[in-house]
Chains A and B, each alone.
Chain A
Amino acid sequence: MTNGQPGLELESVTKHFGGLHAVEDVNLRLNLGERRGILGPNGAGKTTLFHLITGVLPLTSGRIRLFGQDVSGWPTHKRVALGMARTFQITSLFPKLTVLENVLLAVQGLRKMKMVMLKPLSRYKDVYEKAEKLLSDVNFWHLRDQEVRNLSHGEQRQLEIVLALASDPKVLLLDEPSAGLATGESHEMADFLKSLDPEIAILLIEHDLDVIFEVVSHISVLHYGEVLAEGPSDDIRNDPRVQEIYLGKAE
């Protein structure tokens, strides 16, 4: 019902680090419920683009709109509060805390009770219930008391996404969710991503082509910070320029 409305819009987004043009005039639109991928070789500016969208880095020029609102100058936590979440290419969890504690921190992130100082967190049953549901959905409930650093890499990659889902985002940015996974695990990750609520719009950076073609319907190809091609996945797969710069030349 909400599909077709803009979730995330980038207008001429540009980022220069001194003389380095990391991201140059990128235009992109992600509608609610849409699944879009960003493809590009290392150094193409994919992660920088995520930093710009989330407000970790300031824009050099251009404009970012979230659900129609101009958020270009906003700090990260305000953008997140509108309904955006993000995962990291390099697993970015709380390694010394337990799985449950990780998820609890994620669940309370957008709730006002996060500022309460003299009432124990354990009294907030609704926060615990939400955490339990999130963990049960991915069959992690039995791991809840494990410290995160003791989980396998694959489990950590999945928990990375669970944390992002805790705030019920409407726009989800995934930075190489299958980074470092074995082939079998990559397939599981793709299945997991496909099983997510179809209402959630996803912008997916991915190196694993099997994963990206399986999950998204549209792809933007980034090359030296610029959008080289954009379109439905199949067109991109067959685009000779894309094949040349990213997939390698045909033998």
Chain B
Amino acid sequence: MVENLAEKKRVLIVLGVFVALGVVTPFLDLFMQSLVTEILVFGILAMSLDLLLGFTGLASLGHAAYFGVASYTTAIIMTKEDWTWTFAAFQWADSLGLGLFYIFIFALVVALAFAAFFGFLAIRAVGVYFLMITLSLAMVIWGLAYRWSAVTEGDNGINVLGRPSLFGISLESEIPFFYFTLAVFLICLGLMYMFVRSPFGKTLVGIREREERMQMLGYNIWLHKYLAFIIAGVFSGVAGVMWTLFNLFVSPPDIELITSAEALFMVALGGPATLVGPVIGSAIIRSLQQFISIYVERWPLILGAIYIITIMLGRLYGVEGILGLFGKFRKPAAPPEAPEG
């Protein structure tokens, strides 16, 4: 019961923060509005990776692949006029005010297909081998974006000329798009929150903690990891769709290794297996990139320093990430266990 109350309190705090964000953001300047929106987009990406890294214990270094295929799919179906079938379908959906639904369904099915195929290849591997396989598969996607210029425009990237409207509401200006992003973000957060509390979500934690025991309890470990991989890939795809809609431009650097690595940093920095921790990580990393890069050319050095300090403090107090440290300082440490008599 007590645990339930504490959990309810946590949920209310998180909701309160996002309501506050929704209230405050319209009063910020355009630059800040855009930054907040960007943080939310990468927050979705970081949370989706948290399902793998934090909850399942799978360190994927290729999570930008599904982000990438979804963002490219979005750009392609909106711009490829000579692909008559897909373009006509998009225009038809858009004329009904359903263009966004069409984009999401199309792009997420593509992301799901890639995650299903890549996951099938990668899940057998463990530890650093899993890392290497996911990395190389993501490089394949990057290679496609870079080289398959007939479809992806190669180095030039794809310019998207505008956002589809939602039920006739234009999302072209910053404020409506921010609210749309916030809504998508909260839906993702809600779904992932339900997911990690579900029986299936708990099995992932069990697999992270001790795989051989889970096997002996009757779990098909491979299946659980594989499904988790696909689900995380689809949520990564949501972030990818949002990225193209936000940026109205997608090019190979958006989806390369750096994006995957950054997502890993966001999770580790904010606090793995917390969902909201990675969003804090996203806020820190994206803000640093936007603010400090104006003044300091080598801003990654500052990011590195913050990262090292967080990890070292975390080690010191036996917690993970900024959220873990926050929890540690807020409540007094638990009394040490009485020695067994």
Contact = CB atoms under 8 A, between A and B. Distances in A.
Given A92-B213, A93-B213, A118-B191, A109 B198 contact: no
What's the interface size class on A, roughly? 35 or more
A106 B337 CA distance: 26
A88 B215 CA distance: 12
B201 A117 contact: yes
Contacts of A80: 215-218
Given A81-B218, A109-B218, A115-B200, A92 B212 contact: yes
A192 interface: no
Given A109-B219, A145-B3, A163 B213 contact: yes
B216 A76 contact: yes
A75 interface: yes
A97 B205 contact: yes
A86 interface: yes
Dominant SS among interface residues on chain B: helix
A88 B217 CA distance: 12
B198 A119 contact: yes
A115 B205 CA distance: 14
A113 B199 CA distance: 7
A101 B212 contact: no
B220 interface: yes
B212 A56 contact: yes
Interface in B304-332: none
B203 interface: yes
18 contacts: A77-B218, A80-B217, A86-B216, A88-B216, A92-B212, A92-B216, A94-B205, A97-B206, A105-B206, A114-B200, A116-B198, A117-B195, A120-B194, A120-B198, A121-B199, A145-B3, A152-B340, A163-B217
A106 B201 contact: no
Contacts of A152: 340
B202 interface: yes
Given A77-B219, A117-B198, 16 more contacts: A76-B216, A80-B216, A81-B218, A101-B202, A104-B202, A109-B217, A110-B218, A117-B195, A117-B200, A118-B198, A120-B197, A121-B201, A122-B4, A127-B199, A145-B3, A167-B217
Given A97-B205, A105-B206, A145-B3, A121 B216 contact: no
Given A81-B218, A117-B195, A167-B218, A97 B200 contact: no
